[in-house]
Amino acid sequence: MGNRSRGGFGLLIAVAIALFSLFRYFGSSQVNEVTGEKQRVGNVTPEQEIALGLQAEPQITQQYGGESSDPRLRGIVESVGQRVVAQSEASKTPYRYEFHLLADDKTVNAFALPGGQIFITQALLRQLKSEAQVAGVLGHEVAHVVARHGAEHIAKQELTQGLTGAAVMATYDPNNPSSRGSAAVIAAVGQLVNLKYGREDELESDRLGVRFMSESGYDPRAMIRVMEVLKAAGGGGRQPEFFASHPNPENRIGKIKEAIAKEFPDGVPGNLQP
C-alpha cells in the first residue's frame, strides 16, 4: 500500500512538472523584429544570450587550437564580419558581434554562439576564394544570432528536460533497477528531437545570409560557390565536421538560388562585390 501511495504521488508530481514545462514553453512567444517570425524563446533575454556566448567562447576557442596566429587572416575575418553586421539589418539587433578565426587547419567548420560570438576555422577559410565567399559564411552565422536560434534551442531544451524529468519521475521505480533503462531511452529520444530542428535553422540562416551579404554589398551568388567548396571538401571520403550540423550542400544550393531570386526578381545587380 505504501509503495502504491508513493507511486501515485510520483505520478502527480510528474504530471505537474510536465504541465508546467508545456505552459512555460507554449504560453509565451515573441516576434523577432528582423525576421518577423513569432518565436518561442521562453524567458531567455538578449542580454542572457550575450552572457552565455561570452562565457562559452574561451572553451570553444581552446577546443579548436586557440585563435589563429596569422594577423592578416584574422583581419580579413574581422573586417568582413563587421561589414556584414554594420551594413545589414543585423545592425538593428542588440547583440555583441565578435568574429574569431580558429587555428584548426584540419576541421572545416563555422558556427555561432548565442549573443554574437562567431567562429570560422582556418581549414575552411583557406578554401574560400574571395571576400564575398567569406561574407557568405559569416553572414550565415550572423543570421543564426539574429534569428535567435540559440535562444529557441535553449527554450526547447528546457521543455525537453522538463518532460524528460516528468517521464523519469513517472516511470522510475527505485525498487526496480530495470526502470533505469527506460529513463535513459526517454532522455536519448529527447536529445534526438532537439537535434532535428537544426536543419531548418540552417536553411533559414541561408535565406537571411543572402539578404545580409547583399545589403552589405556582396554578391549573394558567392554563397552558392561556398556550397560547392564544401561539397568538394567532402569528396575525399571523410565528411567535414560542417556537415554534422549543416544540411548537405547539394540540398541547400537550390534553396539559396530561390532566396536570391526572391531578393532580386529582376536579377542580381552588377555592382555587388563577387
pLDDT tens for 222-249 read 999 999 988 887 655 555 666 665 667 7
Render pLDDT for 68-110 as a digit per residue (tens, 0 to 9): 999 999 999 999 999 999 999 999 999 999 999 999 999 998 9
Q: Is the pLDDT at 186 greater than 50, yes or no?
A: no
Give the pLDDT confidence score for residue 162 in this predicted structure: 44
**Treating both helix axes as pointing N-terminal to C-terminal, what angle do 131-146 and 71-86 enclose, rounded to 10 degrees?**
60
Give the pLDDT confidence score for residue 77 in this predicted structure: 98
Phi first, then psi: what are they for 66, rounded to 5°?
Answer: 85, 180
Give the pLDDT confidence score for residue 250 in this predicted structure: 73
Render pLDDT for 39-49 as a digit per residue (tens, 0 to 9): 877 778 899 88
3-state SS string over 211-262? HHHHHCCECCCHHHHHHHHHHHHCCCCCCCCHHHHCCCHHHHHHHHHHHHHH
Question: CA-CA distances (angstroms) from residue 66 to 123, 124, 138, 166, 205?
Answer: 13, 15, 19, 40, 26
Q: Is the pLDDT at 164 greater than 50, yes or no?
A: no
C-alpha cell of 199? 536543419
Give the pLDDT confidence score for residue 197 in this predicted structure: 38
C-alpha cell of 116? 554574437
CA dist., res. 175 & res. 79, Å (int)? 61
Q: Is the pLDDT at 264 greater than 70, yes or no?
A: yes
C-alpha cell of 70? 596569422
**Average pLDDT score over the chain:** 80
Mean pLDDT value of segment 1-20: 53
Higher model confidence: residue 141 or residue 10?
A: 141
**Torsion, CA 225, CA 230, CA 234, CA 235, rounded to 10:** 10
